[in-house]
Amino acid sequence: MRQIFVRHWLERPGRFFLILLGLTTATAAIVTVLCASFNARNSFAQFDRLASGLPAIDITHNQGARFDPNIIADEPLPFPALATAPMLFRGSIARSETERLRCLLLGVPLADPSDTEEISATVSYWSQSNREKLGAFLGLRSSVSLGREECILSESAARSLNIAEAGEVHILFRRSIRKLVVRHIVPNEIWQSFALEPSIIVDLYTLQKWANLKDQVDRIRIFVGANDEKTMEKRREKLSASLVDDLVANVRTSSFGSASNVFRSAELGLGFATVLAGAMSIYILLNSIRMNLLERRQHFAILRCIGATPTQIFVAILIEIAAIASLASILGLALGIALGRLLQNVLLAMTPADSVAYAVPWSTLIPLAAIVPLFSIVITCVANWEQRNISPLENFQEPNQILAEGLRMRWIGLGIGLWGISLIALIAVRNEIIPFYWAIPAGLLTLIAYLMFLPIGWVPLLFAIAFLNKDGRWFSIDLARYQLTRRAERTSLSAGFLVIALCGAIGLGQALLSNISELRRWYELAFAGDIFLVSRPTQVSDSEDPIRATLLSLDPETVQWLDSIRFFDMEIEGIAVSAIVREFPEASPFPGVLRGITQAEALSELRAGKILLNAILAKRLGKRTRDRILLQYMGQVSEFEVAGTFVDFKNGGMSILTERRAMQSRWVVTGFDLLAIRCSPDKITDVTRSIQSLEAANSIQIIPGNDLRSSIDSSISSVILGITLVVISSFAIGGLGIASTMAMNVTEQTKDFSLLRLIGMSQRQVLICVMAQGLLLGIIGSVFGWIGGVTTAWIIHACSEVILGYTPRFESAWHLPGLSIAGAIFVVIIASLIPAFRAAQVDPKKSLQYEI
Task: Return residues touching other proteins (CB under 8 A).
Answer: 398, 400-401, 404, 471-473, 475, 482-483, 486, 752, 755-765, 844-845, 847-848, 850-852
Q: How many whole angstroms from its chain centre is CA 448?
A: 25
How far apart, in whole angstroms, are the C-alpha atoms of residue 250 and residue 252? 6
* Smallest gap from residue 398 Cβ to other proteins (A): 8
DSSP 407-433: P-HHHHHHHHHHHHHHHHHHHHHHTTS
Comparison of 241 and 852: residue with beta carbon closer to other proteins = 852
C-alpha triplet 62, 65, 70: angle, nearest 5°: 90
SS3 content of the chain, % helix, strand, coil (to 5): 60, 15, 25
* Smallest gap from residue 409 Cβ to other proteins (A): 21
| DSSP-assigned beta bridge partners for residue 780 | none
How far apart, in whole angstroms, are the C-alpha atoms of residue 106 and residue 606? 39
How far apart, in whole angstroms, are the C-alpha atoms of residue 659 and residue 612? 10
* Smallest gap from residue 790 Cβ to other proteins (A): 34
Comparison of 404 and 444: residue with beta carbon closer to other proteins = 404
How far apart, in whole angstroms, are the C-alpha atoms of residue 221 and residue 193? 10
Comparison of 486 and 620: residue with beta carbon closer to other proteins = 486
* Smallest gap from residue 3 Cβ to other proteins (A): 16
Of 232, 206, 204, the C-alpha closest to 218 is 204
Comparison of 244 and 403: residue with beta carbon closer to other proteins = 403
Of 765, 758, 748, 733, the C-alpha closest to 831 is 733
* Smallest gap from residue 476 Cβ to other proteins (A): 10
How far apart, in whole angstroms, are the C-alpha atoms of residue 666 and residue 495? 63
The DSSP 8-state label assigned to residue 433 in this structure reads: S
How far apart, in whole angstroms, are the C-alpha atoms of residue 452 and residue 495? 11
Dihedral sign, Cα of residue 455, residue 458, residue 460, residue 465: negative
* Smallest gap from residue 846 Cβ to other proteins (A): 11
Comparison of 189 and 398: residue with beta carbon closer to other proteins = 398
* Smallest gap from residue 847 Cβ to other proteins (A): 6
Sequence-separated (6 or more) residues with CB below 8 Å from residue 448 = 415, 418
* Smallest gap from residue 485 Cβ to other proteins (A): 8
Comparison of 122 and 401: residue with beta carbon closer to other proteins = 401
How far apart, in whole angstroms, are the C-alpha atoms of residue 116 and residue 205? 10
* Smallest gap from residue 781 Cβ to other proteins (A): 22
* Smallest gap from residue 754 Cβ to other proteins (A): 9
Comparison of 393 and 552: residue with beta carbon closer to other proteins = 393
| DSSP-assigned beta bridge partners for residue 788 | none
How far apart, in whole angstroms, are the C-alpha atoms of residue 600 and residue 590? 10
Comparison of 627 and 843: residue with beta carbon closer to other proteins = 843
How far apart, in whole angstroms, are the C-alpha atoms of residue 493 and residue 711? 43
Comparison of 164 and 404: residue with beta carbon closer to other proteins = 404
Taking a C-beta distance cutoff of 8 angstroms, is the pair 50, 356 a contact?
A: no
* Smallest gap from residue 739 Cβ to other proteins (A): 23
Taking a C-beta distance cutoff of 8 angstroms, is the pair 811, 513 a contact?
A: yes
Comparison of 519 and 755: residue with beta carbon closer to other proteins = 755
Comparison of 599 and 849: residue with beta carbon closer to other proteins = 849
How far apart, in whole angstroms, are the C-alpha atoms of residue 582 and residue 661? 9
What Å distances lie between residue 829 and 144, 266, 746, CA to CA? 71, 32, 15
| DSSP-assigned beta bridge partners for residue 675 | 533, 564
Comparison of 562 and 766: residue with beta carbon closer to other proteins = 766
* Smallest gap from residue 404 Cβ to other proteins (A): 7
* Smallest gap from residue 462 Cβ to other proteins (A): 13
Which conformational region is residue 79 in: left (phi greater than 0), alpha (psi within -120 to 50 degrees), or beta?
Answer: beta
Comparison of 746 and 816: residue with beta carbon closer to other proteins = 746
Comparison of 438 and 475: residue with beta carbon closer to other proteins = 475
Comparison of 27 and 847: residue with beta carbon closer to other proteins = 847
* Smallest gap from residue 287 Cβ to other proteins (A): 20
What Å distances lie between residue 16 and 74, 234, 380, CA to CA? 81, 69, 14
How far apart, in whole angstroms, are the C-alpha atoms of residue 682 and residue 182? 45
Number of neighbours of residue 9 by Cβ within 10 angstroms: 15
In three state form, how does the secondary structure of 642-705 look?
EEEEEECCHHHHCEEEEEHHHHHCCCCCCCCCEEEEEECHHHHHHHHHHHHHHHHHHCCEEEEH
* Smallest gap from residue 323 Cβ to other proteins (A): 26
Q: Helices 763-804 and 409-430, interaxial angle, to 10°? A: 30
